[in-house]
Amino acid sequence: MAVRGIRGAITVAVNEEAAILEATERLMRSVIEANEIEHEDVASVMITVTHDLDAAFPARGVRAIPGFDLVPLMCSNEIPVPGSLEKCIRIMMLVNTEKSIRDIRHIFLEGAAALRPDLNSQVK
């Protein structure tokens, strides 16, 4: 079994607590479903937000998912590169899995689909 990194990102329309929590939970559930992840196999999740999102800790959205209350989560700010995508939440989930690196499905939703069009064809 290997530890694999799974990436994902989503944008929100507004800097509001409900929007941040709902988007984070939606993104995580999409990654979990696409990769058939069991919470027991998750080593940790790193979550970043752009500087224009400060109304909530997105980790709270992850904790709403059954089984993720004990998974180590860390929130941080994304590097504020001029011209970068705004109102974006990104995740990096480290998962113990038998899947090959080519079988991992990275998920980019809403405006974040523009971040990795090369991987976005995997999203259904």
Q: With a cut of 60, say whether residue 13 has pLDDT above it.
A: yes
Cα separation, 63 vs 70, in Å, equals: 8
- Mean predicted lDDT score pLDDT of the chain: 94
Neighbours of 106 (CB within 10 A): 22
Mean pLDDT, residues 17-27: 98
Report the b/e string of 56-86 with b at 16+ CB within 10 A.
bbbbebbbeeeebeebebebeebeeeeeeee
Q: Pick 105 or 124 by higher pLDDT.
A: 105
Q: With a cut of 80, say whether residue 108 has pLDDT above it.
A: yes
Cα separation, 86 vs 15, in Å, equals: 10
Q: With a cut of 90, say whether residue 114 has pLDDT above it.
A: no
Q: What percent of the chain has pLDDT over 90?
A: 89
Mean pLDDT, residues 67-93: 96
Cα separation, 91 vs 107, in Å, equals: 10
Mean pLDDT, residues 41-70: 97
Helices within 51-94 (DSSP H only):
59-63
